Amino acid sequence: MACSSAAMAWRASVRARALPTSRWTQRPATILPKRVERYPGASRYASESAAPAPTEAVKETAKDTVKEAAKETAKENAKEIPRKAGRGSRKALYTTSLALTLLVGYIYGTDTRASIHRYGIVPLIRLLYPDAEDAHHMGVDNLKMLYQFGLHPRERGEPDRDGALSTEVFGYNLSNPIGISAGLDKHADVPDALFDLGPAIVEVGGTTPLPQDGNPKPRVFRLPSQHAMINRYGLNSKGADHMAAVLKQRVVDFAYAAGFGQQELSEQRVLDGEANVPPGSLVPGKLLAVQVAKNKLTPDSDIEAIKRDYVYCVDRVARYADILVVNVSSPNTPGLRDLQAVAPLTAILTAVVGSAKSVERKTKPYVMVKVSPDEDSTEQISGICEAVWRSGVDGVIVGNTTNRRPDAIPKGFVLPEEEQKTLKETGGYSGPQLFDRSVALVARYRALLDQGPPSSTESENSENAVAKAPSDVPRKVIFASGGITTGQQAHAALQAGASVAMMYTGVVYGGIGTVTRVKQELRKELTK
Ligand SMILES: Cc1cc2nc3c(=O)[nH]c(=O)nc-3n(C[C@H](O)[C@H](O)[C@H](O)COP(=O)(O)O)c2cc1C
């Protein structure tokens, strides 16, 4: 009995010591001497089983130990609970702040109006990606990934809703007259993400019949002081079958999301306009242009083979396009620009128009030809216009990159040594220096096309080509491309006779908010 009360007292003291207070568990060395000091001989109880019966004093001591331990624990808990509560509210504060920061960051970072895109992201990309092509791939890949997660930048607040910029093109009422031109989305990876940046036209491609690598790298160069570029990509393409598959999947996904189901028929219903959206863009007030070109290895002298190249592409992608663009103006495919002569151009365009007309879709895609800014003699321009009339093509994109090396801006500016070297690279030059020539060329095409078909014009496509008075035939549509970077320039291009002002290099240097900014500037121009 005496033995068991001693054991109980020990266990009590051990339990008391074992109470899970942080002080006790963290600092045993500081606690043990205290116990020894307070209860001399306590260690004996634990080791000596045959100890004499505990006296009253010992029992009291044991009780005291338990009480003391309980008090200590209560004190510790009293301190710990507010500390824990403090930690809890701090944690909540941090979590809320983090969530708010992420939300504000998301709203700001995904708004095309945010100046960080132009003044932060663009310089950062240039710094991190000295090779302009790497920067291009990174940009497209990231935009694609962000779009998949709904985190892509977009135009907020529907600025086009007031209709101030709306314009009619090919019978469609477009939300605005701004476009993104070919080459930025070469493989149709991000047409929807590009539409969300604000343009009414997105041109994807150019695509070629067979996949081709293009020229060896490096093949894209920056001239930062000029906000210009030189590229000799050479129409690198994954091929028309690839592009058709990507565009088809896009329509299938759209059809499913719009409640048309997943059958083959659903795709056709969307393409036939049952969703009340243009079959290419799938967005009201916007149009998707798909650019086609020939393979580099198709011989320049074999016009039949060249026609087959273009028709092959059209047969694959036309179903998914609102506008088909025939590229005969890239400076980086040898012999391509020679196809702008009247006879070959008429033959190619006639074949393309014929193929576009046979697309299985209620509305057929319109066809445009993209011409070079370098073939600009009166003879060359009238030859192209003649081919346009004879083939029944609906419009012209004026123009493309130039083989010329324009004067620096501002006048008299001397390029840094590095850029003077870059200027010697082979390839097409693009950027603001093209603007004056582009706008002048647009005006010349406008004037010539508005004269109607040349009287000698014989219809190659009897259905499409024209032998009527100019007033009876639809006006040929012009899109301007070359050096447009501001709303004032877009306005000038429209005034010169274009229906749409397209941009590429301006977006590279201005960032993903460029279209929104240019439209805002254009609105101001229109109210002047
Ligand atoms: C890197 C790069 C790639 C291009 N790729 C194509 C292309 O595949 N097809 C095409 O017709 N134009 C292509 N272009 C030309 C542009 O679409 C545009 O017509 C030209 O750059 C002039 O406009 P900008 O001064 O606004 O850039 C490319 C331009 C650049 C800078």
For residue 127, pLDDT beyond 70: yes
For residue 463, pLDDT beyond 70: no
Nearest CA to ligand 1 atom 28: 183
Index of the ligand 1 atom closest to the CA of residue 484: 26
Q: How far apart are CA 515 and CA 200, in angstroms?
A: 10
Index of the ligand 1 atom closest to the CA of residue 485: 26
- Is-catalytic flag, 181? no
Nearest CA to ligand 1 atom 13: 183
Q: How far is the CA of 431 from the centre of ligand 1 (A)?
A: 10
Index of the ligand 1 atom closest to the CA of residue 502: 26
Catalytic residue selected from 13, 266, 281, 330: 330
Q: What is the pLDDT of residues 222-267, one digit of tens each?
A: 999 999 999 999 999 999 999 999 999 999 999 999 999 988 899 9
Residues in the ligand 1 pocket, defined by CB under 6 Å:
181-183, 186, 206, 220, 229, 231, 233, 235, 291, 327, 330, 370, 400-401, 430-431, 434, 481-484, 503-506
Kindly tell me the sign of the dihedral angle through the C-alpha atoms of 354, 360, 366, 367.
Answer: negative
User: Which of 294, 430, 514 to probe ligand 1 with, by most ligand atoms within 8 A of CB?
Assistant: 430
Q: How far apart are CA 119 and CA 66, in angstroms?
A: 69
Q: How far apart are CA 216 and CA 207, in angstroms?
A: 18
Q: How far is the CA of 502 from the centre of ligand 1 (A)?
A: 10
Index of the ligand 1 atom closest to the CA of residue 231: 1
Whole-number mean pLDDT of the chain?
89
For residue 42, pLDDT beyond 50: no
Index of the ligand 1 atom closest to the CA of residue 182: 17
For residue 36, pLDDT beyond 50: no
Lowest mean pLDDT among 50-59, 61-70, 148-157, 372-381: 50-59
For residue 470, pLDDT beyond 70: no
Q: CB neighbours of 453 closer than 8 A, spacing ≥ 6? A: 386, 389, 390, 465, 466, 467, 470, 473
Q: How far is the CA of 402 from the centre of ligand 1 (A)?
A: 10
Structure confidence at residue 62 (pLDDT): 76
Lowest mean pLDDT among 97-101, 348-352, 367-371: 97-101
Lowest mean pLDDT among 84-88, 124-128, 166-170, 341-345: 84-88
Structure confidence at residue 56 (pLDDT): 77
Q: What is the pLDDT of residues 148-170, one digit of tens each?
A: 999 999 999 999 999 999 999 99
Structure confidence at residue 88 (pLDDT): 86
Q: How far is the CA of 181 from the centre of ligand 1 (A)?
A: 6
Structure confidence at residue 224 (pLDDT): 98
Q: What is the band of 471 on the pLDDT scale with cuts at 50, 70, 90?
A: low
Q: How far apart are CA 230 and CA 228, in angstroms?
A: 7
Q: Mean pLDDT, to the nearest integer, of 112-125? A: 96
Share of the chain above pLDDT 70, in %: 87
DSSP 8-state assignment for residue 88 = H
Instruction: Say if residue 344 is preceded by a cis peptide, omega within 30 of 0.
Output: no
Structure confidence at residue 84 (pLDDT): 81
Determine contact, residues 399/371, Cβ cutoff 8 Å.
yes
Q: How far is the CA of 501 from the centre of ligand 1 (A)?
A: 13
Nearest CA to ligand 1 atom 18: 400
Determine contact, residues 321/288, Cβ cutoff 8 Å.
yes
Nearest CA to ligand 1 atom 4: 183
Kindly tell me the sign of the dihedral angle through the C-alpha atoms of 238, 239, 240, 245.
Answer: negative
Q: How far is the CA of 430 from the centre of ligand 1 (A)?
A: 7
Find residue 89's DSSP bridge partners: none
